[in-house]
Amino acid sequence: MNVIFKSDRKEIRGLNGSSVSQYALPLLHIYGNISYNMNSANVSYEQHTSHNDDDTKYYVAATVNNSLYEYDEYAANDGILPPPDDIKILVHRYATSSSAPMFQQLLTLGGIGMPITAVSPPDILYGYGLSGGQFATDQLKETAYHEFAHASHFRITSYQLWLDNIDYIIHYGSYGDATDPGADRTDLIEMWGYFMGREYAHRRYGPTRHSSLIAFGFPDTATFLNSWYAWNENSGDYNSLFESNGHIAAGFLHDIIDDSTYNAAHNLNDNSAIRMDSIRGFTITSIFNQMGSSTTNAATLIEKLRSNIPIGIGNNIQNYDSLKFYYNY
């Protein structure tokens, strides 16, 4: 029986060696010889952590595959667009980071086209050159949800915004600094990605079924206070206010959705500085609907949301501005 990581929904390739076919063709796993007819086969891949090992490649690819269908379900429930069909995904061992350049989608939208014999470039690059603990399924899925959130965003924003952000990332090697020209565009794209990755990871794994997370110093026991939700509540990378060098305020999106009364009841406090966070009631749908092509940076998104504050106790311009100011907007 062959397991081929390809359908109308996606194509996943796996690269852990020098063979050109690994890049050019969908991942194929010859699972075994089966002499009887089989319908609805269930194939499981156990966790592996050796970068060079094919079993690790299959495990990561299967986890990313499942994450896509879970993301589709969550997106449908939230009323947002899923990633485009026939999305091209490359899982590879040559990086510790992942990205969503959406190369094949850009080629299609740009009318460039490709020869029928050419290899379609990847939309998502998923690097699994990780350390052992980062191979926990929830951590792999959180990264996948993050990248699929970018793919959803790509569908409603402009072709040019995505190209400009690729240029920015290449120029600065990553997210750059808050003062770099173009950082505000990356702020928009990444605040959505980081927020959604953790939000959907918490939705999948809940308050106690997650792994030991670096943001909380790799705790021995999984609790609500060190969950993916708590990471969003504390905001930023490793409990800082921002994700990178004084910018990318993913915590802001969490703070306008969450309920501080609920958080306090669970002894979940905001990060370090005390802030006024009485804003609640925004939804993933209401945020996503403001992220179309006219929204080219985080400040514009925040101002658009300011004009659409839900009715509720504590939901007023003054409190919204206090929260906005806390995140340097």
Interval 192-251: pLDDT, tens: 999 999 999 999 999 999 999 998 999 999 999 999 999 998 877 776 788 988 899 999
If 0-12 CB within 10 Å is exposed, 13-18 middle and 19+ buried, where does residue 311 land? exposed
Residue 133: phi and psi, rounded to 5, are: -65, -25
DSSP 225: G
> Mean pLDDT throughout 177-190?
94
Q: How far is CA 180 from the centre of its chain?
A: 23
Instruction: Tell me which amino acid residue 319 is.
Output: N
Say how far apart CA 242 and CA 187 lie, in whole Å. 10
- The single-letter code of the amino acid at 192 is W
Q: Judge if pTM exceeds 0.75.
A: yes
Q: Given this model, what pLDDT does residue 274 score?
A: 43
> Structure tokens of 295?
């929204």
